[in-house]
A and B are shown apart, each in its own frame.
Chain A
Amino acid sequence: MTNTISDITKESDVIMIIGSNSEEAHPVLGMQLRAAAERGAKIIIADPRDINLTKKADVHLKLRPGTNVALVNGMLHVIIEEGLTDEEFIKERTEVENYEKLKKIVEKYTPEYVGEICHLDPDDIRTAARLYAKAEAAPIIYCLGVTEHSTGTEGVMSLSNLAMVTGKLGRPGCGVNPIRGQNNVQGACDMGAMPTDYTGYQKVHVDEVREKFEKAWGVELNPNPGTKATECFEKMIEGDIKGLFIFGEDPMRTDPDTHHVDRALSNLEFLVVDELFMTETAKYADVILPGSAYAEKEGTFSNTERRVQRVRKAVDAPGNCKQDYEIFTEIMNRMGYEQPHLTSAQIMDEIASVTPSFAGISHARLDGEEVAGNGLQWPCKGPDHPGTPIMHVGMFSRGKGNYHLAEYKPAQELPDEEYPILLTTGRNLYHYNAMAMTDKTPGLMQISPHSYIEINTADAEKLDIKDGERIKVSSRRGTISSEARVSEKTGPGEVWMPFHFLDGNSNWLTIDALDSIAKAPEYKVCAVKLQKIPESEAYTEDGTYITQAMIAEKRNEMYAKQLSVSERCANGEVVSVASSWDDYSTLVNGCSSCD
């Protein structure tokens, strides 16, 4: 985020939310957005679903998934045409030459043209553009609904264009604010777990940077940028990557096109997984190393506001579990690098010593009276630097703000005759990603126990699907079963699924098309078909209707018995628990194809 949650929710008169269902994915932000609406801030929502906050919205742009770039260019068109730009800001703070190019690009994005692409009323686009542009202070809040597209980076760039031409950057109540998905995904990027960057976004290909790290670490470093995780899977299938260390991820459940991930992990020569639980991914490992949970360690997380806050040890890890950084230290020493055993606080001191934007951050300071429990927001350039709540005040970090020009491009896989429905996925209020933590809380499983799919009433009627019915959902990559939830929440021809559940996991369906720049998968758009389950398969032998709850129960039983998703039958086929489609009798009786 360029700004803080507090200033964008309290000091804004308009709030534009695009591709973020904050009330479920980031509930405590959602609570503060509801309070903002209550105090009178105008709300613009661009989201393909009737999410709860749309009830409080002044404009709801219920756009077709995958058309964000067109929408934002349409808003820019209206703002420029109607003279609602902040000319002074444009002249003083941004690359004026590029602004002229931007004007040319958005010329053709009339509200009518954009309305066609996005399935929107052109007047709603005008209203939204005017509301945002005329506001004294208005933040843009976005989430994975913008980034998880093959054109995700372009979506973000268009939003930054929108903020720049209206001068809504570098002040309270404004900014371009990504709401990061995971507790420390900001930190993971900040800490250099990126193939192109060391800590603090220092580039590996820059000689002086690399030399600095070589000196600090006392070892020669590889000058070639590495491969992004989402592209590594292809390299595993091709045999270019043979050894993999996974620390706390479960790509068998969270990455798109599960069959593809299965092929990749199965083809590795050696896989090590550092985990808390026997996850679907851990089952593929040659060695599993038991690590520690957040409540068992000292450290820090960086939240979506770039705020570094303390994590404190409350309990001991069970059994022979080790601190994760200890595990890495041990491996480093065994592979010939003399890494001293440090405490978490000492590691942060080392981070500060090699990272200019973290130079003023230490555990002692975070625990001290000066910080008073408020954390420190990077850039924090020295022990006396107070941190940076709002970025780009007075000047952009690169000097003049640049416009990135982006044309609308359709998603990689659009509905067609065979797969006529557009699937988009997301998080619900009660679970967190692959549920490694939330499925251990019985109450959460009681409230939200199994897979479901939201279907528009018109589509359901056409297919004779009733609310609560278990149906078959297929894409070119897999088939799953899920429970139909019929409403007007999604648009006609569009369905939405949560990505959490072991039963009916949407990632058997999703496509591994990647954003051309950031390499994020296009989770938000792929083509599927919905089918009623034939009578012959809908009931058990004793005539009981098979519900999705029953499927979930069987699946979870198998999970508890630690049967792997990758169980294979004698023919080498991925079957029973392994197959994405859950035929109930297979779940109960095991694989029948090899009998």
Chain B
Amino acid sequence: MISITIDDLKLQVEEGTTILEAARQNGVRIPTLCYLEGVNQIGSCRLCVVEVEGMDNLPTACNTIAKDGMVIQTASQKVVEYRKMILNLLLSNHHQDCFSCPSNGKCELQAVCNEYGVYKTTFEGTRVKIERPPKEEHPFLGYRSDLCIHCQRCVNTCNNVSGRRAINLKKTGMFTIIDAPFGENWEETTICESCGNCADACPTGALYRKAGKKYREWEVKKVLTTCPHCAVGCQMYLLVKDGKVVAVEGADGPSNHGRLCVKGRFGSFDFLSSKDRLTDPLIKDRKTGEFRKASWDEALDLVAKKFTEIKKKNGPDSLAGFACSRSTNEDIYMLQKMVRTVFGTNNTDNCARV
């Protein structure tokens, strides 16, 4: 353990702890933009600068290791002015047309600018010259360079969280650009798995889920649930607007740690409100083969009557009931209970084998 002082608080922290971690562990807030714990700790946005006694420059808290005896100021006049300047510079390359941005209301840049009272830039942006139209040919994902603050969260999320390296830093002349594979040639990029973990990581609306344009952050209710596809059991939020699921976001579950795949993120909700959903019980006319709508009472009475007849005539083992491996434990329990108690057979199974 080492001893440090943060804003007059005398603290003991583990050796090897960064200044940011030390502050957060002790309830001291240092603003960040590019920082993502364990994924992106590169100090590129410089918003997390702090003042350290005896140091001329202002080190970035996210990747500076705390040393024994350090005396740190996280909100001195100098630090606050420096952060305002950083935000002023970031805004010079960030189009503030928040109305059209899917991240309006959840944008971390918006929030921190608001906190520091920086509402517009006093500089002329340098990247304006190389701005390209949005890349949105990809079915699910888009990228707007004019909203990008080059924090590299997406780059390192793809590298370290999804493990694909599909988003890269590239040079064009003297400028650095983020090369996101969502433009015209998206189909040729086999590296990108369309998982969208990059979009969850973006602090602004630069890299976004296209579905995000259909709602505003404050309009949706988020419901924590378990993904309905494979058996990894990823935790995720269903975003519900006006009684309809409009998007999915990753949640920090024990088996997924915030990650989702393309099916979980994009293939888990359109089917819910599909026009093809069956909405009424249907009974088939055996002669014509046509189905007709029926009331629940009529359909259930028929089911009970026919199964009872078959059971009486041919014995209970002439009936069987299969459960769905996609449904809940509670549903499956009741299905097998139905087969065992009223069908009177153990002919119950699930699709484990198929």
Using CB atoms and an 8 Å cutoff, list the residues of chain A in contact with chain B. Answer: 4-6, 25-32, 34-35, 38, 179-196, 198-199, 204, 213, 217, 219, 221-222, 224-230, 232, 240-249, 251, 254-256, 269-270, 272, 274-278, 282, 285-290, 293-305, 307-316, 318-325, 327-332, 334-337, 339, 344, 347-348, 350-351, 373-375, 429-432, 436-438, 440-444, 446-447, 515, 518-521, 560
Contact = CB atoms under 8 A, between A and B. Distances in A.
Contact of B283 (A4, A286, A332): A286
Contacts of B335: 193, 245, 247, 324, 328
A276 to B, nearest CB: 6
B266 to A, nearest CB: 6
B268 interface: yes
B278 A314 contact: no
Given A182-B230, A332-B341, 15 more contacts: A28-B232, A193-B348, A193-B350, A244-B319, A295-B223, A310-B224, A310-B225, A314-B245, A315-B244, A319-B280, A331-B300, A348-B329, A350-B333, A429-B263, A432-B229
B267 A438 contact: yes
B349 A441 contact: no
Nearest to B300: A330
Contact of B279 (A301, A320, A330, A560): A320
A180 B324 CA distance: 14
Nearest to B260: A28
Given A294-B328, A307-B233, A316-B243, A441 B266 contact: yes
Q: Which residue, of A31, A186, A269, A337, has the highest number of chain B Cβ atoms within 10 A?
A: A31
Interface in B290-323: 291, 294, 296, 299-304, 306-308, 310-311, 314, 316-323
Contacts of A304: 231-233
B273 to A, nearest CB: 7
Given A228-B353, A290-B277, A519-B353, A181 B231 contact: yes
A315 B245 contact: yes
Closest 5 pairs between A and B when the two form their complex, measured CB to CB: A319-B279, A303-B233, A248-B324, A299-B328, A443-B139
Contact of A251 (B224, B271, B280, B354): B354
A517 B221 CA distance: 47
B304 A335 contact: yes
Contact of B271 (A244, A293, A309, A430): A293
B336 A193 contact: yes
A303 B232 contact: yes
Contacts of A430: 194, 262-263, 267
Given A314-B240, A432-B229, A229 B334 contact: no
Contacts of B333: 191-192, 199, 347, 350-351
A21 B344 CA distance: 40
A569 to B, nearest CB: 13
A363 B262 CA distance: 29
B226 A185 contact: no
Nearest to B323: A193
A222 B316 contact: yes
B320 A247 contact: no
Interface of B: 139-140, 160-164, 187, 193-195, 221, 223-235, 238, 240, 243-245, 251-256, 259-264, 266-274, 276-284, 286, 291, 294, 296, 299-304, 306-308, 310-311, 314, 316-354
Q: Which residue, of B193, B194, B283, has the highest number of chain A Cβ atoms within 10 A?
A: B193
Q: Which residue, of A187, A232, A270, A351, has the highest number of chain B Cβ atoms within 10 A?
A: A187
B85 to A, nearest CB: 37
Contacts of B279: 290, 318-321
Contact of B272 (A191, A310, A315): A315
A18 B224 CA distance: 33
A312 B71 CA distance: 48
Nearest to A197: B346
22 contacts: A28-B232, A31-B163, A184-B329, A190-B329, A222-B316, A222-B340, A222-B344, A227-B347, A229-B320, A241-B318, A243-B307, A243-B319, A245-B335, A295-B225, A299-B327, A303-B231, A316-B243, A320-B279, A337-B342, A374-B253, A375-B233, A520-B354
B338 A443 contact: no
B333 to A, nearest CB: 5
Contacts of B272: 293, 295-296, 315
Contacts of A329: 334
A437 B271 contact: yes
Contacts of A190: 329
Contacts of B194: 430, 443, 447
A307 to B, nearest CB: 6
Contacts, number: 471
Q: Which residue, of A275, A316, A328, has the highest number of chain B Cβ atoms within 10 A?
A: A328
Contacts of A332: 337-338, 341-342
Contacts of A243: 306-307, 310-311, 318-320
Contacts of B281: 287-290, 320
B326 A294 contact: yes
B347 A232 contact: yes
A444 B267 contact: yes
Contacts of B163: 30-31, 34-35, 38
Given A28-B261, A180-B231, A295-B225, A440 B331 contact: no
B262 A444 contact: yes
Contacts of B340: 198, 213, 217, 221-222
Contacts of B334: 324-325, 328-329, 347
A347 B330 contact: yes
Nearest to B229: A432
Contacts of B303: 245, 272, 287, 289, 331, 334
A331 B277 CA distance: 22
A520 to B, nearest CB: 4
Contacts of A198: 336, 340
Contacts of A348: 329-330
Contacts of A296: 272
A310 B226 contact: yes
Contact of A6 (B164, B254, B307): B254
B226 to A, nearest CB: 5
Q: Which residue, of B195, B229, B352, has the highest number of chain A Cβ atoms within 10 A?
A: B352
A344 B317 contact: no
A28 B234 CA distance: 8
B271 A441 contact: yes
B19 to A, nearest CB: 26
Contacts of B267: 430, 432, 437-438, 441, 444
A186 to B, nearest CB: 6
Q: Which residue, of B280, B286, B317, B348, has the highest number of chain A Cβ atoms within 10 A?
A: B348
Q: Which residue, of B232, B259, B329, has the highest number of chain A Cβ atoms within 10 A?
A: B329
Contacts of A5: 232, 255
B304 A334 contact: yes
B225 A244 contact: no
Nearest to B161: A31
Contacts of B316: 222
A296 B328 CA distance: 11
B323 A188 contact: yes
A27 B195 contact: yes
Contacts of A180: 231
B278 A288 contact: yes
A478 to B, nearest CB: 17
B326 to A, nearest CB: 6
A320 B295 CA distance: 9
Given A247-B327, A294-B326, A307-B254, A185 B350 contact: yes
A185 B352 contact: yes
B320 A244 contact: yes
Q: Which residue, of A308, A320, A322, A337, has the highest number of chain B Cβ atoms within 10 A?
A: A320
B315 to A, nearest CB: 10
